[in-house]
């Protein structure tokens, strides 16, 4: 009897005890995630804002720095310069990318797969690589200039715009492909039944259908350009933009106050673009109803061949840019000694292969750490609706609107504080990993929440009613189901961490040099061929990783995703994934 009573008593208290433990663990995890976002997003940004209100000695001066900034004509010019190149690059990129995406999605022209792959190349290169290539092609002694004797004057706004168009092209293309794919064939059937001309159909059906995609592409390109400093640095000549201004103020003159002031100003267009983009995206979801019919492109030889010629031209130009980088990295001394050599690959001025290995290491850690934090964070926010969910969600979206340089500067203010515990991180690889993780936090976070939202809440309910602790359900059910998104997220982190420059350029220290920063330093010192060689290796690493992930993804999808066909689409949505 006694044994039986004890038997009955134990499970009850064990379950209750475990539930209490579980609840405590949940709140602990939510607390940790909140602390993480506070420490690495909110607090550093507050520091930048605050710093822009102080003078160089730390005294409060109100808006004096802003007054000084806007009243120095030379410095204030960088604002109009930035807006000018960003708007022009945006219009050109979106126009070119729209035609390209249209040809890929709405025609049956040959080589569509090849064109798509080639157009993705710029994703694998740091933004200054395009600038370096254009100097080699259109510079005063460039290939084109030597051949034709026509100097287009590439240094300045013209060169920046060209480099940015190439840099942003794949980003715009991916958004537009997605927009052009999400359409309803019945609208086109209706248009042709009503006798609308091709042009009229384009104007009244196609364009309105991709309106939001176009706007989204515009905002993405605009933000990319205005926050980029690689291309203006390399090819800008005397033309100064806000991002290079921050770099010069901070790295050149260590004028952190002015750097913070320009940062806050730079934050405004990026924030506006972000908010508008969010509003637009919210409306876009309702566009295609569940009964929509996918559009089957029809044969149209004339349009197909003219678009084929167009795509060929674009793809060839993109390929040419990277071919030039490869070739100059392999010749002795362009254009005077054209013998083949591997000596530019010795990198003896930047410590050999250490920066590249550091980059791979940091990218791998970013991929592993970032994926874990993003996915667990998204799980906390999405699956346990608490009062903390909304603020945590908002904080997770914030990073996408923070330009990299601003983030880097914010981290200097936060972590280079003598005597503080945070100072331990300063100058370590860890701070580089964290800055990458935050810089690229939002897109993976949205991917993770979307994929978790698609999962039925029944899994958790059944689990908890059977007395299975949530972490077991998470590990055995949630994670395996979401595996394709998890893989896509980690690839996104890896590839971006490999090429990013803007945040980490302020944070590298002796012993933690990175490959993309090495490209910048070598180009700064005039060692352009070595800079090209390092770029080649960065691109090659990215491509290899991308293909490895492609293989992994196929394997995983076959094993865990037999029940859904949409899994691989998530990769494509993440921008870096469309190399198939």
Partner 1 sequence: MRRPGNRLTTLVLGAAVLCGAALAGPALAKDTVVIYTAIESEQITEYKKAYEKALPNLEVKMLRFSTGDISARFMAEKDNMQADVIWGVAATNTLIFKNAGLLEAYAPKGLERVQPLFRDKANPPSWVGIDIYMSAFCVNTEVAKKKNLPTPASWGDLTKPVYKGHLVMPNPHSSGTGYLSVASILQRMGETEGWKYLDALHQNMAEYTKSGSKPCKDAAAGERAIGVSFEYVALEMKKKGSPIEMVLPKEGSGYDMEANALTKKGAKNPAAKAFLDWAISNEAMALYAKYFAAVGVAGFPVPEGLPKDISKVVYPNDFDWSAKNRDRILAEWQKRYAK
Using the minimum distance from each CB to partner 1, give the nearer residue, 334 or 411: 334
Q: How far is the CB of 52 from partner 1 (least distance, A)?
A: 17
CA distance 426 to 419: 12
CA distance 142 to 149: 10
Q: How far is the CB of 555 from partner 1 (least distance, A)?
A: 12
Instruction: Match 């580089």 to its residue by tokens.
Output: 432
Using the minimum distance from each CB to partner 1, give the nearer residue, 34 or 427: 427
Give 411's contacts (C-beta < 8 A, 6+ positions apart): 44, 431, 434, 435, 503, 506, 507
Q: How far is the CB of 176 from partner 1 (least distance, A)?
A: 35
| 120 φ, ψ (degrees, to nearest 5) | -80, -15
Give 193's contacts (C-beta < 8 A, 6+ positions apart): none
* Tokens linked to 208: 């309105």
Helix axes 127-138, 515-524, angle to 10 degrees: 30
Using the minimum distance from each CB to partner 1, give the nearer residue, 101 or 242: 242
Using the minimum distance from each CB to partner 1, give the nearer residue, 204 or 253: 253
Q: How far is the CB of 201 from partner 1 (least distance, A)?
A: 48
Question: How far is C-alpha 302 from the geometric centre of its chain's CA atoms?
Answer: 37
Instruction: Match 């978790």 to its residue by tokens.
Output: 452
Using the minimum distance from each CB to partner 1, give the nearer residue, 29 or 77: 77
CA distance 364 to 482: 20
Q: How far is the CB of 368 from partner 1 (least distance, A)?
A: 5
Q: How far is the CB of 288 from partner 1 (least distance, A)?
A: 33
Q: How far is the CB of 494 from partner 1 (least distance, A)?
A: 13
* Tokens linked to 328: 């100059």
Residue 340 forms beta bridges with which residues? 331
In DSSP notation, 256-321 reads HHHHHHHHHHHHHHHHHHHHHHHHHHHHHTTSS-TT-----PPP-HHHHHHHHHHHHHHHHHHHHH
Using the minimum distance from each CB to partner 1, give the nearer residue, 44 or 170: 44
Using the minimum distance from each CB to partner 1, give the nearer residue, 418 or 551: 418
Using the minimum distance from each CB to partner 1, give the nearer residue, 141 or 461: 141
| 579 φ, ψ (degrees, to nearest 5) | -80, 100
Q: How far is the CB of 192 from partner 1 (least distance, A)?
A: 49
Interface with partner 1 (CB under 8 A):
74-75, 77, 135, 139-141, 155, 237-240, 248, 251-254, 256, 332-337, 348-350, 361, 365, 368, 416-418, 423, 427, 430, 475-476, 479-480, 483, 509-511, 524-528, 559-560
């Amino acid at each position: 009897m006694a044994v039986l009573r004890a038997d009955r008593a134990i499970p009850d208290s064990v379950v209750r005890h475990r539930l209490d433990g579980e609840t405590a663990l949940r709140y602990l995890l939510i607390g940790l995630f909140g602390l993480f976002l506070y420490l690495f997003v909110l607090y550093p940004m507050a520091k930048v804002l605050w710093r822009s209100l102080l003078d160089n000695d730390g005294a409060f001066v109100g808006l004096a720095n802003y007054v000084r900034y806007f009243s120095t004509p030379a410095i204030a010019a960088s604002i109009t310069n930035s807006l000018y190149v960003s708007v022009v690059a945006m219009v050109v990129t979106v126009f070119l990318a729209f035609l390209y995406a249209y040809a890929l999605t709405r025609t049956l022209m040959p080589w569509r797969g090849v064109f798509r792959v080639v157009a993705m190349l710029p994703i694998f290169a740091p933004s200054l690589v395009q600038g370096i290539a254009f100097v080699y092609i259109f510079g005063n002694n460039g290939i084109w200039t030597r051949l034709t004797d026509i100097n287009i004057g590439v240094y300045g706004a013209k060169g920046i715009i060209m480099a940015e168009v190439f840099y942003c092209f794949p980003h715009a293309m991916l958004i537009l492909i997605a927009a052009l794919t999400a359409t309803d064939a019945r609208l086109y059937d209706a248009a042709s039944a009503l006798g609308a001309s091709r042009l009229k159909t384009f104007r009244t059906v196609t364009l309105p259908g991709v309106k939001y995609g176009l706007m989204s592409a515009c905002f993405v390109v605009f933000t990319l350009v205005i926050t980029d400093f690689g291309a203006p640095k390399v090819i800008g000549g005397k033309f100064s933009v806000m991002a290079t201004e921050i770099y010069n103020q901070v790295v050149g003159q260590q004028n952190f106050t002015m750097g913070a002031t320009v940062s806050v100003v730079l934050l405004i267009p990026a924030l506006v673009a972000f908010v508008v983009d969010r509003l637009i995206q919210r409306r876009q979801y309702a566009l295609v109803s569940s009964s929509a019919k996918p559009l089957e492109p029809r044969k149209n030889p004339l349009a197909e061949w003219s678009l084929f010629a167009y795509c060929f031209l674009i793809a060839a130009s993109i390929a040419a840019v990277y071919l030039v980088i490869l070739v100059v990295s392999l010749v002795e001394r362009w254009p005077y000694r054209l013998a083949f050599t591997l000596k530019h690959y010795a990198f003896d001025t930047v410590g050999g292969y250490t920066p590249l290995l550091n980059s791979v290491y940091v990218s791998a850690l970013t991929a592993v750490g970032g994926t874990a934090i993003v996915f667990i964070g998204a799980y906390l926010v999405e699956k346990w609706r608490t009062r903390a969910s909304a603020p945590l969600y908002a904080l997770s979206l914030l990073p996408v609107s923070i330009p990299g340089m601003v983030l880097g500067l914010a981290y200097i203010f936060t972590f280079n504080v003598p005597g503080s515990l945070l100072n331990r991180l300063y100058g370590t690889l860890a701070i580089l990993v964290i800055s990458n993780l935050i810089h690229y936090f939002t897109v993976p976070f949205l991917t993770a929440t979307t994929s978790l939202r698609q999962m039925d809440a029944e899994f958790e309910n059944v689990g908890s009613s059977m007395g299975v602790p949530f972490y077991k359900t998470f590990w055995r059910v949630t994670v395996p189901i979401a595996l394709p998104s998890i893989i896509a997220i980690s690839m996104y982190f890896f590839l971006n961490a490999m090429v990013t420059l803007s945040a980490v350029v302020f944070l590298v220290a002796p012993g933690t040099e990175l490959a993309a920063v090495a490209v910048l330093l070598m180009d700064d010192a005039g060692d352009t061929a070595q800079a090209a060689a390092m770029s080649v290796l960065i691109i090659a690493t990215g491509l290899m990783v991308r293909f490895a992930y492609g293989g992994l993804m196929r394997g995983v999808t076959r094993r865990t995703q037999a029940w859904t066909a949409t899994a691989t689409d998530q990769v494509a949505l993440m921008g870096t994934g469309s190399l198939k």
